[in-house]
Structure formats: structure tokens, C-alpha cells
Amino acid sequence: YLYIADAGAGKIFRYMIGEKGKLSQKRLLIDRGSDGMTLDSKGNIYLTGNGITIYNSEGVKIGQLKVPEGTSNVCFGGKDKSILFITAKTSLYMIPTLAKGVE
């Protein structure tokens, strides 16, 4: 899949990627926007904004990580890709998780 965050429209879309990179089956996955987004190895989607909101691969909210300031970007890193790095208004947060980022 290819995930597109349309921050202006406030929506996250998912597309199938076909042969020769052709996109098809556009689907509104999450009805909210985000500046930053990452995926874990199980297909869960992590969105920035008010902390980090976690959705499963079908767009259902499954969790929320509280952060003391607005968040702008997020990615997994570290030796085994299990540390969630979060950039915020004035800080960088590093949160150890049980999840692992996509390889």
C-alpha cells in the first residue's frame, strides 16, 4: 500500500500499488489529517498531532500516546527499530516500544 496524508483536507488515504507503480483502489482510511506518519511491522499507522494516535491497518483507532506538546513527525529507529522517535514543538522524544518499525 501507499499511504497519503492530505493535511489540507484532514484525511489519510490508502492506495494499492499495481504493476509499473500504477495506483488504484483509493480508499479514505482515516478521517483526520497528520503532518507526520509511520508504520510498524504489523501494519499499524502512527499519526502525529495531539500526541501520537495509533490506528490498525483498517483505520480503527487502537491507541494514543500522550506527549506534553504538539507533535510534528514520528519514526521508528534504534538497533532493532523498536524506539519511537517523536519530534515536537521544542523537543525530541524517544519512547521504547514493543512494536518494531517496518523494514
How many structural domains compose the chain?
Answer: 1
Q: What is the C-alpha separation between 79 and 81, in angstroms, rounded?
A: 6
pLDDT at 71: 96
Q: Structural domain of residue 34, as residue ranges?
A: 2-96
Q: Is residue 102 part of a domain?
A: no
Q: Is residue 103 part of a domain?
A: no
Residue type, 47: L
Q: Is residue 67 part of a domain?
A: yes
pLDDT at 7: 83
Q: How does pLDDT run across 28-85, given as a tens digit for each residue?
A: 999 998 989 999 999 999 999 999 999 999 999 999 999 999 999 999 999 999 999 9
pTM of the model: 0.93
Residues 43, 54 contacting (CB under 8 angstroms): no
Determine the longest span between alpha carbons in the chain, in angstroms. 43
Q: Is residue 101 part of a domain?
A: no
Q: Is residue 31 part of a domain?
A: yes
Residue type, 93: Y
Residues 63, 98 contacting (CB under 8 angstroms): no
